[in-house]
A and B are shown apart, each in its own frame.
Chain A
């Protein structure tokens, strides 16, 4: 190797010129001060950057992120895969097989509370957890049908029990 070393003399002299590349004058005057301020800032508990936190707490995650950033092809493939899964999920949720049990539940709801269904359709109210109803037109009450009906007392039959 030593026989080839002299061939690099000109290159080495050229590279040595890079030593002349310097930061702006006075740059190092307060450099250490800035480092100390940075240390104190960290000790005060100010949150470090997201990437720094990832690097310190989960290096494997940082490696994955770096791999994705470094190769757009892998990142694109992964994104396409995630999108495909999402689309497949949406299609499956709209299919009759997936909707079957929901219909059954909806039917049960309609049977169980017809008054509620009618009231919602007629009034157009949006349900709210607020006990005080907002101002505006008041629709029919859920209990109107109870007021409207003419209740008749049912005959009570009392059987005399033999003593």
Chain B
């Protein structure tokens, strides 16, 4: 017997708006990993990402009445999560915590990583954890809007249009921020990118 088709997002939102927690649970399950990952890449801390992701979903549930449906629920909840994260980072300004050794074991077999570390990198002895540490350090040096654009585009794989909607700015701003952020990162990581 084939599995039941996934429920329509609009239907889930409609039911959740009327207090149906089962429908909202389904919505959370759909987007939890992407929301969590974005927050994690912004904060570089799993505990903070956990707290912020939960708070974002809870806030979104209580604000469902204000959701007009002009954009997708996904984009809308993303915007809530991003705003929450940026506010949090402003408070935490000087408390940067980098989580090390958080890469899963599959990363060691990633061809891109192998190429970066063994072929093109002048420092062949560089370790996976060190590379991860340097990358996170470089990201944390960026301003929040620049880090967010890089995270959404180069890590999450979102389009410029989606990012512009989430960040409530035009596509030109997204492109210029992305270009500037990449330039900055390239400068910070020059030893590992030659």
**In the complex the two chains form, is A14's CB within 8 Å of B91's CB?**
no
Categorize the interface residue count of chain A.
35 or more
**In the complex the two chains form, is B102's CB within 8 Å of A14's CB?**
no
Q: Residue B158 at the A interface, CB < 8 A?
A: no
**In the complex the two chains form, is B58's CB within 8 Å of A70's CB?**
no
Q: In the assembly, what is the distance between CA of A132 and CA of B43, in Å?
A: 65
**In the complex the two chains form, is A70's CB within 8 Å of B93's CB?**
yes
B116 contact from A14, A22, A27, Cβ within 8 A:
A14
Q: Residue B87 at the A interface, CB < 8 A?
A: yes
Q: Residue B175 at the A interface, CB < 8 A?
A: yes
Q: In the assembly, what is the distance between CA of A38 and CA of B28, in Å?
A: 13
Question: A28 contacts which chain B residues (CB < 8 A)?
Answer: 32-33, 36
Closest B residue to A8 by CB, please name it: B182
Within 8 A of B (CB), among A45-59: 52, 55
Interface size on B, residues (CB 8 A): 51
Q: Residue A69 at the B interface, CB < 8 A?
A: yes
Q: In the assembly, what is the distance between CA of A66 and CA of B91, in Å?
A: 6
Within 8 A of B (CB), among A7-66: 7-8, 10-24, 27-28, 31-36, 38-40, 42, 52, 55, 66
Q: In the assembly, what is the distance between CA of A33 and CA of B21, in Å?
A: 10
Given contacts A23-B50, A42-B62, contact A17 B107 (CB under 8 A): yes
Q: Residue B25 at the A interface, CB < 8 A?
A: yes
A18 contact from B29, B36, B41, Cβ within 8 A:
B41
Q: Residue A1 at the B interface, CB < 8 A?
A: yes
**In the complex the two chains form, is B28's CB within 8 Å of A12's CB?**
no
Interface locus among B6-14, B68-76, B186-194: B186-194
Q: Residue B168 at the A interface, CB < 8 A?
A: no
Within 8 A of A (CB), among B20-65: 21, 24-25, 28-29, 32-33, 36-37, 40-41, 46, 49-50, 53-55, 57-58, 61-62
**In the complex the two chains form, is B110's CB within 8 Å of A20's CB?**
yes
Q: In the assembly, what is the distance between CA of A11 and CA of B155, in Å?
A: 11
**In the complex the two chains form, is A22's CB within 8 Å of B189's CB?**
no
**In the complex the two chains form, is A21's CB within 8 Å of B28's CB?**
no
Q: In the assembly, what is the distance between CA of A149 and CA of B174, in Å?
A: 98
A11 contact from B40, B58, B102, B193, Cβ within 8 A:
B193
Closest B residue to A52 by CB, please name it: B55
Nearest Cβ on chain B to A1's Cβ, whole angstroms: 7
Question: B120 contacts which chain A residues (CB < 8 A)?
Answer: 10
Q: Residue B96 at the A interface, CB < 8 A?
A: no
* Extra A-B contacts (4), CB below 8 Å, given A15-B185, A20-B110, A66-B91: A12-B182, A14-B112, A16-B154, A39-B61
* Residues of chain A whose beta carbon lies under 8 Å from any beta carbon of chain B: 1, 4, 7-8, 10-24, 27-28, 31-36, 38-40, 42, 52, 55, 66, 69-70
* Residues of chain B whose beta carbon lies under 8 Å from any beta carbon of chain A: 21, 24-25, 28-29, 32-33, 36-37, 40-41, 46, 49-50, 53-55, 57-58, 61-62, 87, 90-91, 93, 99, 102-104, 106-107, 110, 112-113, 115-116, 120, 131-132, 135, 150, 154-155, 175, 179, 182, 185-186, 189, 192-193
A-B contact pairs, 17 of them (CB 8 A): A1-B179, A7-B186, A11-B154, A11-B185, A14-B112, A16-B154, A17-B107, A21-B40, A21-B102, A22-B104, A23-B40, A28-B33, A35-B28, A38-B57, A39-B58, A40-B21, A66-B87
